[in-house]
Amino acid sequence: MDTRKKEEGISAIQFKKKDITNPVHFDNLEDLLIDVSKNDLKSTDKVKFIYSGNSEFPFDVREQWTDSCNLLALKEGVVVGYDRNDKTLQAFIKAGFTSIHVKDLLQQLEDETINIQDIQNTFIVMPSAELSRARGGFHCMSMPLLRNPAS
């Protein structure tokens, strides 16, 4: 059991482009993220936080340094992350996600035993022995694309 004293959250300020002189203040980062989810992304679902290292000391800090917070969301409820972050993966499983190794997923897609549209609440596990040495996770290795609607 982690007996460390809980530290006070770090306050956050959000500046909006349309009204830069009137920032919104939040008591902590979680409140800011909830606000963004509801007001900017129009989410009606309850926001659920999954913490690095399953919020267990010292794993929370260790796994942050091995990019457990640098996941790539492929779509809502589907993320890609490194295999070396065991406690973070456990936190996702505890939150209702399933995990699948990328090699197994690719085989199932190739065999057509699974359909991309049917994948939900899944943590796709990628090997990290060499990738994580470069100090970056999947989010850092991605690039946002703006696509034209299909004609």
What is the set of active-site residues?
Answer: 140
Q: 26-53: b or e for each residue (b if 16 or more CB lie within 10 Å)?
A: beeeebbebeeeeeeeeeeeeeeebbbb
For residue 25, the surrounding DSSP H or E stretch is strand 19-26
Q: Is the bond leading into 127 cis (omega within 30 degrees of zero)?
A: no
**How distant is the alpha carbon of residue 3 from its chain centre?**
26
In the numeric block, the tokens 């009137």 are attached to 22
Query: What is the sign of the dihedral through the CA atoms of 98, 143, 45 and 23?
Result: positive
Q: Tell me 54's DSSP state.
A: G
In the numeric block, the tokens 């359909």 are attached to 115
